[in-house]
Chains A and B, each alone.
Chain A
Amino acid sequence: MRINFWYISSFVISLFVIIPILTVFSSFLDNTSNYYQVLKDTFLMEYIFNSLILLASVLILTFFIGTGSAYLVSFFDFPFSNFFKWALILSFAVPPYIYAYSLTAFFENYGTAYTILKSLFGEGNYNQIIPKFDGLLGVVLSISFSLYAYVYILARASFLYQSQNIIDLGKNLGFTKFKAFYSIILPAARPAIVAGLSLVAMETLAEFGAVDFFSINTLTTGIYNSWIAFDDLAFANQLSFFLLLFIFALFILENLSRKNAKYHFNTKAGFKQKQKIQLSGKKAFLAFSFCFLVFFLSFLFPLSQMMYWTFKFPENLFDLKILDLLMNTLYLVILSSLLLIIFGLVSNYGNRVNKNKTLNILSTLSISGYAIPGVILAVAFITFVAWFDDSVIKNLGFVSIKKVFIGSILGLVLVYFIRFYSLAYNGIKSGYEKINISVDESSYLLGYSKRKTFMNIHIPFLRNSLLFVGILVSLEIIRELPITLILRPFNFETFATTAYISASEDLLEAAAVPSLFLILIATFFIIITSKYILRDNYE
């Protein structure tokens, strides 16, 4: 085996990401406090049950919304289909906890729904007839409408890449549209859909804000409680470990079910662009209604609720230092995204050119950070830094490094890096999977070195994937809550932390302003890059 620059870089990056994850694993063997026994006797089963129900419900809902809307906009022409193509990704701008605030604000007693009914029909006992979307149902809706876009984007990209040939083949075999969809189109898009659902699953299991807001006991809140209330990091880590196992089990199950089926899309010449089917009449109306409903519920509804409150309570607008919050948020986003893209790219290329088993295992482990809830990762990071400082740095006689990493931008960015590394790595990897290995070989044979192949062939090809990864990571960071709450420097706030603090103090109206800004910034990000994400070209 040749040790080269790419191998070493890839190795070091993966190792760095794995360290805090290993910290989580290593504490699995530590002693736990009495909290474990208390929890075992009381709520543990409830935590597991709620987590499973939550996961299953969110996965089913996001699958139907994401795949259904992607299918409609990819294969059919109907009024506003081109608008929905990108409008449906705007839901990314609304994190589950803000969606939860909106749901509550709208449907609560004397909330917005009540006000609307009152203004339309006069005084009445509307609170009894207005449905309440709180508790587990509230969490499922908040997470699903916020996260379905993962499935939508990846499924749509995959649908677009399907050649007209396989669609024609279905017609030739006499399939109806529905049969062609579930027996040809859907199976061919399966890896993309599963990738989307995996992201949704990990986000759901790690979700803290919405779950906390609706006071649902899940494994994540269990983790948080064991750390905050009982100071039992070991047990918190054990619960995280359990979550990780759950995620891995899902991956393995999916991999096994694929058997030897290949889903590689043919990039050969001869690829035939799809012709969209023109819908009219009732069918066009139904397609439009479905997409509009999804767009309305996922984006317009929370946006209007937050705008309504902002205008209703304008004093909150002036209490905030908007510019500071904006600069803080952007600073974190730009720094972290750049780091993630650069290192994710280098690590992917290192894996591609080396095809080494150790590196492969290391990379696989390194992407598990995404499944670890942010709160536990932040704590694991603090634990590791403290241990490293006490046992290595101080013993060597150096000045303590705690301040450099804990409660600093550097520490925050590093934990973001660990947390979202898998997002960057996998996003770039899926871009890389579209580059046939013979493209690399052709490049070498044209006299290009590995570095030149990387710079001149891969990076231009991956441009759209990199932008996509950049926006995904940025959105995650804009919306991220627990890591920022724990590791942010003193007096350093973002829109997310400001919204959370107001909401946790039962000042939902005050949470509306930072929430609205968060949605607007995220929307702006999505709009300026949507043409790259959704470009109907070779990617």
Chain B
Amino acid sequence: MNKNFFEVKNVDFSISNKTKVKNVSFSIENEGDVICLLGPSGIGKTTILRTIAGLEKIKKGTIELNGKILSSEKINLEPEDRNISLAFQDNSLFPHYTVEKNILLGSERNKEKNEKKISLKEIVDLLDIQRILNKYPHEISAGEAQRASLARSLITQPELLLLDEPLSNIDQSFKEEIQEKLKKILKILKITTIIVTHDSYEAFYLGSKCGIILNNELKQFDDPYNVYHLPNSIEVVNFLNRGTLIPAEVTSPKSLENKDLGTITGNFVKPFPIGSKVKLLVQPEDLHHDDKSNLKFDIIDRKFRGTNFIYTLKTPSNAIIPVFVHSHHIHQHEVDEKFGIKKPIHIDHIVCF
């Protein structure tokens, strides 16, 4: 039987006797895999991490790591006996030790390990925290504290690493660089990691799988491409906020009809009987701009996003549709102008609800 490296089975995650996320099941197949849990603030993502770390108990289900039960209704392995490291979102560095001493305290845990995969220097260089090694936590910025905390967690080389919004306090300009470094270091050290974030781009980049937590449930647990392009519920679509749902009628196994857009062809992710009234997911990249097209809608908003513009269009039946256009596109349009949509419309994965 193929045993997963880490597994959460039917667990209710609670804090202070209040259930935050119900009946959660997901797994990490191989050692070294990185997964991300995505969801809005206050939904219970941190509670999940705290529970996996052993800081909160469970009354239902089991949590297993490498074949060993960590938590169940009857078993609760103490945090110090789990070999799991959790980097808190808020700085939890020991205030009376320098950053260096803080990080070194982490290295004591696995000092008996024969093979030392990474040194303090390597981690320090990777996270660019040489300058702050001799400083106390109160003397450094929030972003630096977060990196120091990350370094301490990484140097423990735990069996499972839990990162709670690890890059939330890091400057946007530095974030991508740190993301890349983090991904690289996790791969080198082969540390199985669960990252909690509310940033979908971060989750899609770092995680080989993403879990979407909404309304007290784990709504979807899949690879990032599927989470984005093949969302399994309207809640997930609304949360990712990158598409719109418009009414349509299924006209054949490979097409449907919308009052404003006309015929749309493509492959249905989930089959629907012909004649079904559905809600079709239209994502910004599904439609293409064409000034020559006679299918034109009013522009009600235009957002410049650096690499592209997002035009928000309003159809005659008052549906709101977003469309991406490359920012180097020669012919730009202003709000209140007409915007042409290329026909025929073809969407590779037709997602309907």
Contact = CB atoms under 8 A, between A and B. Distances in A.
Nearest to B86: A445
How many B residues are at the interface, by size bracket? 35 or more
Nearest to A434: B95
Nearest to A163: B138
Interface in A438-452: 438-439, 441-449
A435 B92 CA distance: 10
Nearest to B153: A445
A269 B94 contact: no
B142 A445 contact: no
B156 interface: yes
A384 interface: no
B85 interface: yes
Contact of A269 (B78, B144, B152): B144
A387 interface: no
A537 B138 CA distance: 9
A442 B91 CA distance: 10
B109 A447 contact: yes
B205 interface: no
B95 A438 contact: no
A131 interface: no
Contact of B84 (A267, A271, A434, A445): A445
B94 A439 contact: yes
B138 A447 contact: no
Contacts of A463: 96
A174 interface: no
B351 to A, nearest CB: 40
Given A460-B96, A538-B136, A268 B78 contact: no
Contact of A445 (B53, B90, B95, B144): B53
Interface in B145-201: 145, 152, 156
Contacts of A537: 136
B141 interface: yes
A361 B139 CA distance: 38
A461 interface: yes
B78 A444 contact: yes
Interface string B124-142: 0000000000001110111
A457 interface: yes
Contact of A448 (B50, B80, B85, B97): B80
B106 interface: yes
Given A268-B145, A269-B145, A446-B85, A441 B79 contact: yes
B305 to A, nearest CB: 30
A82 interface: no
B55 interface: yes
B88 interface: yes
B80 A449 contact: yes
Nearest to B136: A538
Interface centre among A442, A449, A461 (most CB of B within 10 A): A442
A406 B17 CA distance: 50
B108 interface: yes
Contacts of B50: 441
A537 B137 CA distance: 11
B90 A270 contact: no
A436 interface: yes
Interface string A139-155: 00000000000000000
B145 A444 contact: no
Interface residues of A, number: 25
A231 to B, nearest CB: 53
Interface centre among B83, B88, B145, B156 (most CB of A within 10 A): B88
B79 A444 contact: yes
B281 to A, nearest CB: 40
Contacts of A446: 80, 85, 105-106, 108-109, 152, 156
Contact of B88 (A438, A448, A461): A438
Contacts of B95: 267, 434-435, 439, 461, 538
A439 B92 contact: yes
A447 B83 contact: yes
Interface centre among B53, B83, B105, B109 (most CB of A within 10 A): B105
Nearest to A462: B96
A414 to B, nearest CB: 33
A447 B78 CA distance: 10
A439 B137 CA distance: 12
A348 B229 CA distance: 54
B96 A268 contact: no
Contacts of B78: 444, 449
A256 B105 CA distance: 42
Interface string A255-273: 0000000000001111100
B138 A441 contact: no
A444 B106 CA distance: 11
B161 to A, nearest CB: 10
Contacts of B105: 446
Nearest to B143: A269
Contacts of A270: 141-142, 145
Contacts of B106: 446
Contacts of B140: 269
Interface centre among A438, A439, A538 (most CB of B within 10 A): A438
A445 B93 CA distance: 12
Nearest to B50: A441
B94 A442 contact: yes
Contacts of A447: 80, 83, 108-109, 156
A269 B91 contact: yes
Contacts of B84: 445
Contacts of B145: 268-270
B55 A441 contact: yes
Contact of B137 (A269, A434, A460): A269
Contacts of B92: 436, 438-439, 441-442
A159 B26 CA distance: 49
Given A441-B55, A445-B80, A447-B156, A461 B96 contact: yes
A435 B137 CA distance: 13
A303 to B, nearest CB: 36
Nearest to B85: A445
Contacts of A449: 78, 80
What are the 8 tightest A-B residue pairs by CB atom distance, in nearest-first order? A269-B145, A444-B79, A438-B92, A447-B109, A461-B96, A442-B92, A270-B142, A444-B80
Given A444-B78, A446-B106, 13 more contacts: A267-B91, A438-B88, A439-B95, A441-B79, A444-B54, A445-B53, A445-B86, A446-B105, A447-B83, A447-B109, A448-B80, A460-B97, A461-B95
15 contacts: A267-B95, A268-B91, A268-B142, A438-B88, A442-B86, A444-B79, A444-B80, A445-B82, A446-B105, A447-B80, A447-B156, A448-B80, A460-B97, A463-B96, A538-B95
Interface of A: 267-271, 434-436, 438-439, 441-449, 457, 460-461, 463, 537-538
